[in-house]
Amino acid sequence: MTTHKGSCHCGAVTFEISGNVEKGVRCDCSLCKRKGAIMVLMEKDQFTLTSGEDNLSLYEWNSQVAKHYFCKLCGIYTHHKRRRDDGMGFNVGCVDDFNMEILGEIGLVSGSKLSIIDEA
Ligand SMILES: [Zn+2]
């Protein structure tokens, strides 16, 4: 089993991913399009936070179901818990020694089409 190590920019938050990393996606929701990160989606049990829990901040918006985590020191998005309970995603740019070329073509997730609560 392949293991990838990742970290935020300042190194306070570190994590490990088990399994192969193959398909990168972008999402066009109002949050992700601002972040601009390429994400890899996976199952929750493939992700292990290895340090920095105290430095993680959580951002929730709209339906509050997805949990978006970022380092409170350097501001880098590291991972998120998806709407589906057992789903996670992480920022592929955080992974050490990761060759972006193996991702091939980056997919697009239409997050903007997911249910949005009308706050009017
Ligand atoms: Zn950091």
Quote the mean pLDDT of the chain: 89
Q: For residue 118, what pLDDT band results from cuts at 50, 70 and 90?
A: low
pLDDT average, residue stretch 78-106: 87
User: Are 56 and 47 within 8 A, CB to CB?
Assistant: no
Query: What domains are there in the chain, each with its CATH number?
Result: 3-110 (2.170.150.70)
CA of 14 relative to ligand 1 center, distance in Å: 9
pLDDT average, residue stretch 64-89: 92
CA of 54 relative to ligand 1 center, distance in Å: 11
CA of 71 relative to ligand 1 center, distance in Å: 5
CA of 120 relative to ligand 1 center, distance in Å: 35
Instruction: Give me the DSSP letters along 77-92.
Output: EEEEE-SSTTEEEEEG
What count of other Cβ atoms lies within 10 Å of the Cβ of residue 85? 8
CA of 52 relative to ligand 1 center, distance in Å: 9
Indicate yes or no: pTM above 0.85. Answer: yes
d(CA 117, CA 62): 6
